[in-house]
Structure 1
Amino acid sequence: MFKALMKWMQAAKILPQISDTERQALEAGSVWIDGQFFSGKADFAKVLAEPYGQLTAEEQAFIDGPCNELLAMFDRYDVQRSKRIPDEVFEFVKKKGFMSFLIPKRYGGLEFSTLAISTIMAKLSAYNAAVGTLVVIPNSLGAAELIKHYGTQAQKDVYLPKLARGEYIPCFGLTEPTAGSDAASIKAEGLMFRDGDGTLKLKLNFRKRYITLAPIANLVTLACRVHDPENLLGKGEDVGITCVMIHEGTPGFTHGDHHDPIGDPFYNGPLLGKDVIVPVDNIIGGAEYAGQGWRMLMEQLAGGRMVSLPAGAVGAARVASAMTGAYSVVRQQFGISIGHMEGIEDKVGKIAALSYMMEGARIFGCTAVDNGIQPPVVSSVMKAYTTDISRQLISDAMDVFSGAGVMQGPSNILGMMYKSAPVSITVEGANIMTRTLMIFGQGATRCHPYALNVVHAVENSDVPKFRKNLLGWIGHFIAGIFRAEAHFLTRGAFVSVPDVAPETRGYYRRLGWSAARFGVLTDLAMFAIGGKLKARGKLTGRYADALAWQILALGALRRFEAEGRKAEDLPLVHYACQYALAQVQEAFVGIYQNFDGPLGAWMKTIGVFEARANPVGAMPKDELSVRAARVIQQYGAQYERLASNVFLPSADNSGTGRLLKAFRLVSQTQGFHDRIAQAQRSRQLPRGPAPAEIADAAVQAGIVNAQEARQLHEAHAARLAAIEVDQFTAEQYFADIKRDGGIEYRMAVNS
């Protein structure tokens, strides 16, 4: 019976059909906390036992020292206008080891943890994209990482010390006009041949685009498909995707032209090669690793997607949180801080809470990578959802800043982040592809306790293995239905919750309930839709939403526990978890409404009714957004802690510095301000003027003393300075169009 069933499944293509490149991606990395949700039975004691890392003293000193020095040594507006990094910045980056974070100390590197690398990237990228990418690219997928893991000893000895010193500026060439996420479509070709002197060489022809650092790189790692018509390597004619190094100056290799990325400019451009000849020793790992390039990339990206892009996104969100909280207090309208208006409070509270949540998920995920776990599904979730949420939060912050966010110039704090937000959405797998194809497609097969074993058994016609795992799957599915129904009826009352803060126990119960439902829905999708899931991107995207928001909610809860259950952070935790569970609820309803096949009628009627009648989550109430906003609307120890590792320039030379100075002074004088406002309401002082404007009269009336009045005047002056925007003369503002069509900007810009 099982043999016949297996043959029917093969013929009917019930299970997903997996290509070679998909298989390498599928089998790369590790199952982590994502397995808790695909199994439908979340073990929160096990989740909370997972480590939540901290920076070492050496790493924190580097962030507080060289990182701050680096960001203080250039004017980011000048870099934005000129699109050039100053020479002294290049030299500082090389001298201080900013290109060596991945490289072991024995080769001259700093050998920082994944968490430290992510934290540094978050700080740099949020401040300036050009300098950020100059550091990010050498410390992410590319020559250093691939040589470290797969290189020959000779390659490690030669390249790693030079990469650590910045003698080599690397870039990685993958994307082509017809190939990006679809690696099987790579056209870049390497033809294996034996040269006249008897050595094996590759003749490369390629055209790459969107390659960050390409214009300034002197060492390219190229992904190409190697062909070996004479079988010189003994691997057949089609060897497969291979990673090959090309040095600047190699005949036939051309680079130096630029693309012009939207928003904050950074070095990016094409790579072209016509009959470029390199020795076979330029293959990373040598001839042995020819054809292993895609596996190498997938293995490193399994954890690598957790690092650079989530770092930039979370860093930008944390800047938006810190700055929006400050601006909402400093900026006044109608006699009050705009942050005390309910519409503004709603935005500020959301920004504060979701940035708190993402930071927790970032630290949790990076710690997993540091502990040897390479979780491709969670990494994809982090890449796709942190970049998208960050884009939303920056847009919300722009709403609060309003005209101060729109008017460009040296004082603009958010404008470049706002314009640059789409960049991270498109790279390392565009978010649309990641959400609708990768997360659930990979997770449902890889993270499920039985699915991958069944797929392997069917592919290999292994009847005993098929019988064992199919029966196990059926039993698992039936148990999951009863579990999900029990949690539905009791709203998760019987979910096992370990020793956590009493205020957060309810969120664990609801996450356990939602995990049970997610597990059953996963089984239903695989049974009822099966091999057609690849084409059902809208549906699988909703599954990805449900999974992602559960993982992000866990990020907030894990952070709260790891940081000692700080009561003052509870408004952020409550808002983040309620918001996340509301997104999970919306995803579940969407799945029910769009589930076709034999179960479709039941899902679209009874399933939708039950989901809406007994929701797993709802959006935070208005009062909670007020409390979440207040967390970052008062300068003090909590604000400084939440803004730690965000670059905060001095008060004299930037819009950020002036805003923070005003925020500190306004916070310090709030009590004096309130006393005068109360006196105005009781008609002891005239109504209409701002309290600081009648501080001297308040001294005469005995409301404040002379020192308090001076502080109010200082705070008021700082407030006015902070909300100013830049203005330019016509000569400063207009650009000159050169005869060759180029543009020359006059750089004498000052507010």
Structure 2
Amino acid sequence: MLLSLLLFIALLVSVLYYQPPLRLGSVILVLGTLFLTTYSGIMWLLLFPTLLITAILNIPQWRERALIKPAYQLLRRSMPSMSKTEREALEAGTTWWEKELFGGQPDWSMYSDITLPQLSEKEQQFLDNEVEQLCQLVDEWDIGQRKDLSPEAWDFLRQNGFFGLIIPEAFGGLDFSPYAQSRIMSKIASKSPTTAVTAMVPNSLGPGELLVKYGTEEQKQYWLPRLANGTELPCFGLTGPEAGSDAGSIPDMGIVCRGEMNGEEVLGLKLTFSKRWITLAPVATVIGLAFKLRDPEGLLGDPDTVDYGITCALLPANHPGIEIGRRHNPGGPFMNGPIKGEDVFIPVDWIIGGASMAGKGWRMLIECLGAGRGVSLPSLATAGSEMCYLNVGAYARIRRQFNMEIGKFEGVQEATAEIASGAYTLEAMRQLVTRGLDDGAPSVLTAMAKYHATERMRTMVNHAMDVVGGRAIQLGPRNFLAAMYHTMPVAITVEGANILTRSLMIFGQGSMRCHPYLFEELQALQNADEVAGKEAFEPLLMAHLAHTGSNMARTLVFGLGCGLGSPLPINANSFNKPWYQKINHLSAALATCADVALGTLGGSIKRRELLSARLGDIHSELLIACSILKYHQSLPTSDANDAHASFALKRSLNNAQQSLVAFCDNFPQRWLGWLLKFLCLPLGRRYQAPDDNQIRELGALIMEPNPVRQALKQYVYVSESSDDAAGRVENTFSALLKVDSAWQAFSRARSKGELGASGDLDTELSEALRLEIITEADVEPLKTYDQLRFDSVLTDDFEAL
């Protein structure tokens, strides 16, 4: 009886796994069940349900009555209506590799065809010359004292095209790729986060990108050249006192009316708005503005439409009625402030894209948020993580306590290993995400990038502060961590607060955009014509059920063997093959859990933010794991590369597993949650976090000039000046590497009391030379290093505060 039951389960799982045509699969299942009844009487109890279910699925009249009609009516009642704003947000942008991971059956041939981005010759020259010169020109401590960039820095940004990176060459811009933009912003941010934020805004969410994609030819010809050469400096007014992350609820209003412009009566808008937290507002010469548009008199030509919805317009900052308020203090010295206006009249031609784009602003904004979410903020986070890797790794080697480098203490290594892994991960994410942006505007992908990059930066910077201690707390020109520490909350908050991004956006948009059937099903359910809606719904539901069944079978099979035997990329090797198989398993588990949640909770999943956030975390961690594998493959083979990638992959998949377990443990129907947990992890938790050996290994590597350190070093600005905060530590680290063996021998002898108790370095070196602990050639380099070492651990002091 038990054997027959197990064989039936194996048969059912096989049919679901391989997804043969419905009739063929039904025949196989029925014949198999009949065969098994000859061995066990209990199978008669399964034969009749099997016959009934396969009959319902295969006979159209029975399927309509027993399945399609009840499901259609139930879901039509339970699914929430979709507002125009929600529909625009869901339809905006594109999908990419993240869709494959959400579907549960990744197409690894597509992944194999993805090549990481490369800089063009022009982009590389700009990075090596203009960006390098800018980094030499700016100083974050000086900017903090001024509360502004220097006039020379502003001029350099304008004159060298830093505000026109995304503008086409035909309009005087540089037209750089997303990857080049990210690399440029990272390098600037590694020297001065304030300068990077200043350069980011015109190249992310702002008038420039909106004009390039949606502006009229007249608007492009007038504004883009001025934006590209810095004659005009833009800002974008989106958020306000009552609408921060929920930008769709902005209360700012524009009323279509007739008014006077340049002495003539024209059709236009009367705007009333109050915007806050607008970066570059205090110095902007042109303002992009988002507002809700109403046309109560039908002046735009459609008497049936009064509320057009969110619209975007472009206004000169000196236009009558606009008031630029006093500066905010966001914790950093970059320009940020409020903008207000009451009954400000503008011609209708100032709508970006003209009158035909009235009411289409929300879709425009959603699609253009990709630059901020996928390029600017992750580049800032990546720069911070890579500078933490370089500076903290070096400092942990230089700084000694209890006569040992602090980086050799296992407690410190627990933090530095996470810094090393995090920096490797963020660089990998940057490269895969910007590659995705080359193919479109993947809104889910960029939301993942923004949230996870900035959150990982938060973790790494906090670890760095713990390791460096008081040296990182005392402010001054010597401090190499303070600027990034103070910038961190800004990156986490802007472009949609991280809590919102994680809780609502990643899974909320991901389920609709990345699921192969859900969005079309929802449209069928909300079709005003019920007959037509039901006709469209039936094939979608049948395909959806087959998809869910297949993923459930795959989840169980892969869970029993950690994905063993699952599909792989054509270039899989001994290192990455097991990781691809684990991704296959967790991808199938994500698809299964998502379908069960959507099927049982329906529209209420929007309110179950703890559950939806965990599903979003699984989805994100799978994408992150794929980025790590792609980046690992791009680097030369080395033990250090393998060590960093293995640690990062273990961390990522363990995070995904934790979210999966938490989702199942907290599922409202506890019995169903238990069943899902067994289905997804039939042998228990298989994906362990990095162990102590890996922590020690990475904690040691971060203090060495290993190949990964050298690879990450090329993405940031590394000063050769000992007067630079980061350069001082890097130069000291380089000096230590040259005298390390002699310094170690000298330090050991000193700690054992073999050199006397004079405390005088010259005397101790002479004694070490006499005892042949060091050689004559070591004496002067050791003196030089000791001076550098002592200077590198000092903090600034001031006469008065």
With the shorter chain as reference, the TM-score category is over 0.9
In the TM superposition, what whole-angstrom CA distance separates every residue of 1:402-426 from its partner, at most 9, and x where no partner exists? 0001111111111221122111111
Coordinate RMSD, CA, aligned: 2.2
Q: Structure 1: which amino acid aligns with 2:552?
A: I
Match of 2:358 in 1: 290
The 1:674/1:519 distance shift into structure 2, 3 A limit, reads same
Give the Cα separation in 2 of the matches to 1:556 and 1:92.
36
Match of 2:188 in 1: 124
Structure 2 alignment gaps of length 5 or more:
1-63
Match of 2:426 in 1: 358
The 1:354/1:688 distance shift into structure 2, 3 A limit, reads farther
Give the Cα separation in 2 of the matches to 1:616 and 1:221.
51
Q: Which residue of 407, 414, 421 maps to 1:346?
A: 414
Give the Cα separation in 2 of the matches to 1:681 and 1:408.
32
Displacement after TM superposition at 1:491 (Å)? 1.7
Match of 2:167 in 1: 103
Q: Is the 8 A contact 2:205 2:371 kept in 1?
A: no
- Larger mean CA deviation between 607-616 and 281-290 belongs to 607-616
Q: Structure 1: which amino acid aligns with 2:173?
A: G
Give the Cα separation in 2 of the matches to 1:638 and 1:392.
20
Matched, 1:440 2:507: yes
- Larger mean CA deviation between 90-99 and 300-309 belongs to 300-309
Match of 2:31 in 1: none
Within 5 A, what are the aligned runs for 1:536-551? 536-551=608-623
> TM-score, structure 1 length as denominator?
0.93
Match of 1:173 in 2: 237
Match of 2:657 in 1: 585
Give the Cα separation in 2 of the matches to 1:687 and 1:591.
62
Q: Structure 1: which amino acid aligns with 2:73?
A: W
Matched, 1:532 2:631: no
Give the Cα separation in 1 of the matches to 2:489 and 2:162.
26
Displacement after TM superposition at 1:387 (Å)? 0.6
Displacement after TM superposition at 1:292 (Å)? 1.0
For the residue of structure 2 that corresponds to 1:551, the secondary structure is: helix
Match of 1:385 in 2: 452
In the TM superposition, what whole-angstrom CA distance separates every residue of 1:599-641 from its partner, at most 9, and x where no partner exists? x224248827974952241110111122223333123665332
Give the Cα separation in 1 of the matches to 2:211 and 2:473.
44
Give the Cα separation in 1 of the matches to 2:724 and 2:555.
54
Give the Cα separation in 2 of the matches to 1:684 and 1:330.
22
Matched, 1:92 2:173: no
In the TM superposition, what whole-angstrom CA distance separates every residue of 1:269-310 from its partner, at most 9, and x where no partner exists? 111001111111111111111111111111222465211111
Q: Structure 2: which amino acid aligns with 1:33?
A: W
The 1:26/1:138 distance shift into structure 2, 3 A limit, reads same
Match of 1:748 in 2: none
Q: Structure 2: which amino acid aligns with 1:233?
A: L
Structure 1 alignment gaps of length 5 or more:
734-751
Q: Which residue of 293, 303, 312 maps to 1:243?
A: 312
Q: Which residue of 202, 205, 216 maps to 1:152?
A: 216
Matched, 1:4 2:4: no
In the comparison of the two structures, how many residue pairs are matched? 726
Give the Cα separation in 1 of the matches to 2:330 and 2:747.
49
In the TM superposition, what whole-angstrom CA distance separates every residue of 1:526-573 from its partner, at most 9, and x where no partner exists? 111111011001111111111111111111111011224444311110
Matched, 1:673 2:743: yes
Displacement after TM superposition at 1:707 (Å)? 1.8
Q: Structure 2: which amino acid aligns with 1:66?
A: E
Give the Cα separation in 2 of the matches to 1:73 and 1:185.
42
Give the Cα separation in 2 of the matches to 1:204 and 1:680.
75
Within 5 A, what are the aligned runs for 1:111-510? 111-195=175-259, 197-235=264-302, 236-262=305-331, 264-302=332-370, 304-370=372-438, 372-460=439-527, 461=530, 462-498=533-569, 499-510=571-582
For the residue of structure 2 that corresponds to 1:503, the secondary structure is: coil
In the TM superposition, what whole-angstrom CA distance separates every residue of 1:170-192 from its partner, at most 9, and x where no partner exists? 00111111123334422111111
The 1:16/1:388 distance shift into structure 2, 3 A limit, reads farther
Q: Structure 1: which amino acid aligns with 2:765?
A: A
Give the Cα separation in 1 of the matches to 2:757 and 2:180.
53
Give the Cα separation in 2 of the matches to 1:146 and 1:113.
16
For the residue of structure 2 that corresponds to 1:166, the secondary structure is: coil
Q: Is the 8 A contact 1:25 1:298 kept in 2?
A: yes
Q: Structure 1: which amino acid aligns with 2:701?
A: V
> TM-score, structure 2 length as denominator?
0.87
For the residue of structure 1 that corresponds to 2:164, the secondary structure is: coil
The 1:718/1:608 distance shift into structure 2, 3 A limit, reads farther
Displacement after TM superposition at 1:123 (Å)? 2.0
The 1:202/1:614 distance shift into structure 2, 3 A limit, reads same
Q: Which residue of 609, 626, 632 maps to 1:560?
A: 632
Q: Structure 2: which amino acid aligns with 1:4?
A: K
Match of 1:658 in 2: 728
- Larger mean CA deviation between 42-51 and 687-696 belongs to 687-696
Match of 1:712 in 2: 782
- Larger mean CA deviation between 289-298 and 226-235 belongs to 226-235
For the residue of structure 2 that corresponds to 1:296, the secondary structure is: helix
Q: Structure 2: which amino acid aligns with 1:367?
A: R
The 1:679/1:721 distance shift into structure 2, 3 A limit, reads closer
Give the Cα separation in 2 of the matches to 1:592 and 1:690.
65
Give the Cα separation in 2 of the matches to 1:490 and 1:636.
35
Q: Percent identity?
A: 33
Within 5 A, what are the aligned runs for 1:602-617? 602-604=672-674, 607=677, 611=681, 613-617=683-687
Match of 2:60 in 1: none
Give the Cα separation in 2 of the matches to 1:66 and 1:206.
38
In the TM superposition, what whole-angstrom CA distance separates every residue of 1:410-464 from its partner, at most 9, and x where no partner exists? 1111122112211111111111111111111111121011111211111124222
Displacement after TM superposition at 1:223 (Å)? 0.2
